């Protein structure tokens, strides 16, 4: 299935082994360019909204509107992705995201971009993204061989997080001389890259997967699968808690940059530094041939400890340094969860399973984002980050303890079986 020229180049690389497939290189390349534009737009929208409102609560509401549709529609979108052609779904959703970016650009350049328009177009972004997420990530798994699922999912995460190195930095540099409107145009233009890559993928080299049959109860089946294991359920509980409270930096950082570090551009720079760490964390996960609970525990612990440090970073330069391990831990955790989920999931349920992972990770923002904003406005900006870091550490400690007890019980059970025999 891999093209011959690239096989030798990547065959001996444990980190990039799935890139030996031309289809993987095409799709992830297009995704990387597109996500640079998406993060440029995301940063610019946050800066514009902060200028209009000077409120962390307003940015928390923005986060809720962007990810709320995933919370409401994600499970159904996963069932949809399991039932229909994922490639065609992604082609349509990515085209719609380009149109949404053009809408923001036209509104800003016409001078009518206010809080209401930003919120309305963000809802559009959220609905389309909810449909796109499980289909796009499910499609990625069809581009590599079955024994490379963990690797290609980690590289997909590396692509998504690595793009944040450039997108926020571009926004921080260019929003002054160009204005936000032209940054939205940049996002619309970069969308062409992923649309072209989807069209250019060689369909004969895409792994066919069994489609979920029409009818039945696909969502209930997925929930039942998650609850069927004494380990899968607790992992999802811990993952949901960490996702809800440990990743809301984008809500706090715009205000922290302006009020604590005395320059709103620190938001873009700190986001870029976080993404440098995210890229490293994703690639470290990609090097692994499998992901276990210990990796999830270690990476989430790093996320929590770094989050506490960032909460009381005294200056912008100090925040830049702390942001690197913060990004590494956060990306390693989500990349590890993506890879682990594919190791325990049957092919005809990957869309639904990935949808539930996305719901736990992104769909929880409508809960964590506004709470973080309220904490920042009512208690203090530093505490808006610190409370999430504490919640992260408590959740991962509980998971580690549960896993240790489960391992001890299994060991005792195995010993008893040996003695009985």
What pLDDT sits at residue 96? 92
| Residue 413, in any domain of the structure | no
| Residue 385, in any domain of the structure | yes
Q: Which residues make Cβ contacts (< 8 Å) with residue 13, sequence separation at least 6?
A: 19
Give the model confidence (pLDDT) of 54-84 as tens digits: 777 787 788 778 877 877 777 777 777 777 7
| Residue 212, in any domain of the structure | no
User: Which CATH number do you get for residue 24?
Assistant: 1.20.1250.20
pTM for the structure as a whole: 0.66
DSSP string, 153-210: HHHHHHHHHHHHHHHHHHHHHHHHHH-HHHHHHHHHHHHHHHHHHHHHS-GGGSPP-P
Structure-block tokens of residue 134: 């499980």
Residue 148 CA to residue 296 CA, distance in Å, equals: 19
CB of 161 closer than 8 Å to CB of 329: no
| Residue 282, in any domain of the structure | yes
Structure-block tokens of residue 150: 């963990």
Q: Where would I find the H helices in 201-290?
A: 218-227, 232-245, 249-259, 266-287
What pLDDT sits at residue 393? 95
What pLDDT sits at residue 346? 66
CA-based nearest residue to 45, from 243, 262, 271:
271
CB of 154 closer than 8 Å to CB of 122: no
Backbone angles phi and psi of 134, in degrees to 5: -70, -30
Computed over its alpha carbons, how large is the radius of gyration of the chain? 21
Extract the residue ranges of the chain whose pLDDT is less than 70. Answer: 1-13, 209-219, 221-222, 226, 228-230, 290, 342-352, 354, 362-366, 405-421
DSSP-assigned letter for residue 347: G
CA-based nearest residue to 157, from 362, 363, 352:
362
Q: Which residues make Cβ contacts (< 8 Å) with residue 114, sequence separation at least 6?
A: 52
CB of 327 closer than 8 Å to CB of 277: yes
Residue 407 CA to residue 202 CA, distance in Å, equals: 44
Residue 19 CA to residue 145 CA, distance in Å, equals: 11
What pLDDT sits at residue 362? 66
| Residue 418, in any domain of the structure | no
Give the model confidence (pLDDT) of 314-345 as tens digits: 888 899 899 999 999 988 898 888 777 766 66
DSSP string, 133-153: HHHHHHHHHTSS-GGGHHHHH
Q: Quote the number of domains for the chain.
A: 1
Which domain covers residue 346, as residue numbers? 4-202+217-408
| Residue 417, in any domain of the structure | no
What pLDDT sits at residue 301? 94
């Amino acid at each position: 299935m891999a093209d011959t020229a690239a096989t030798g180049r990547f065959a001996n690389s444990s980190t990039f082994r799935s890139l030996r497939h031309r289809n993987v290189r095409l799709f992830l390349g297009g995704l990387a360019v597109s996500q640079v534009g998406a993060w440029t737009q995301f940063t610019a929208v946050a800066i514009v909204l902060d200028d209009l409102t000077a409120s962390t609560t307003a940015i928390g509401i923005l986060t809720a509107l962007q990810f709320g549709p995933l919370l409401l529609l994600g499970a159904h979108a996963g069932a949809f992705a399991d039932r229909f052609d994922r490639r065609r779904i992604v082609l349509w959703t990515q085209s719609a995201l380009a149109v949404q970016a053009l809408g923001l650009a036209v509104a800003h350049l016409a001078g009518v971009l206010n809080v209401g328009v930003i919120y309305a177009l963000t809802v559009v972004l959220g609905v389309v993204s909810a449909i796109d997420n499980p289909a796009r990530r499910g499609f990625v798994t069809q581009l590599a061989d079955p024994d490379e699922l963990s690797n290609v999912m980690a590289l997909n995460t590396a692509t998504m997080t690595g793009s944040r190195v450039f997108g926020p930095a571009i926004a921080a540099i260019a929003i002054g001389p160009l204005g936000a409107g032209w940054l939205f145009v940049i996002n619309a233009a970069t969308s062409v890259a992923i649309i072209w890559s989807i069209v250019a993928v060689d369909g004969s080299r895409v792994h066919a997967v069994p489609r979920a049959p029409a009818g039945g109860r696909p969502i209930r089946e997925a929930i039942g699968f998650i609850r069927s294991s004494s380990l899968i359920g607790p992992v999802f509980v811990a993952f949901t808690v960490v996702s809800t409270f440990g990743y809301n930096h984008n809500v706090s950082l715009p205000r922290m940059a302006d009020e604590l570090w005395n320059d709103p551009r620190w938001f873009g720079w700190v986001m870029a530094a976080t993404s440098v760490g995210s890229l490293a964390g994703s690639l470290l996960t990609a090097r692994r041939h499998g992901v276990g609970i210990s990796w999830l525990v270690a990476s989430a612990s790093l996320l929590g400890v770094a989050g506490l440090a960032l909460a009381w970073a005294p200056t912008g330069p100090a925040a830049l340094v702390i942001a690197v391990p913060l990004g590494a831990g956060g990306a390693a955790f989500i990349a590890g969860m993506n890879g682990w989920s594919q190791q325990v999931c049957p092919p005809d349920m990957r869309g639904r399973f990935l949808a539930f992972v996305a719901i736990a990770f992104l769909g929880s923002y409508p809960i964590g984002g506004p709470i973080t904003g309220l904490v920042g406005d009512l208690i203090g900006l530093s505490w808006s980050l610190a409370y999430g870091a504490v919640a992260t550490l408590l959740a991962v400690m509980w998971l580690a303890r549960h896993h240790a007890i489960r391992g001890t019980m299994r060991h005792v059970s195995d010993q008893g079986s040996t003695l009985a025999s």
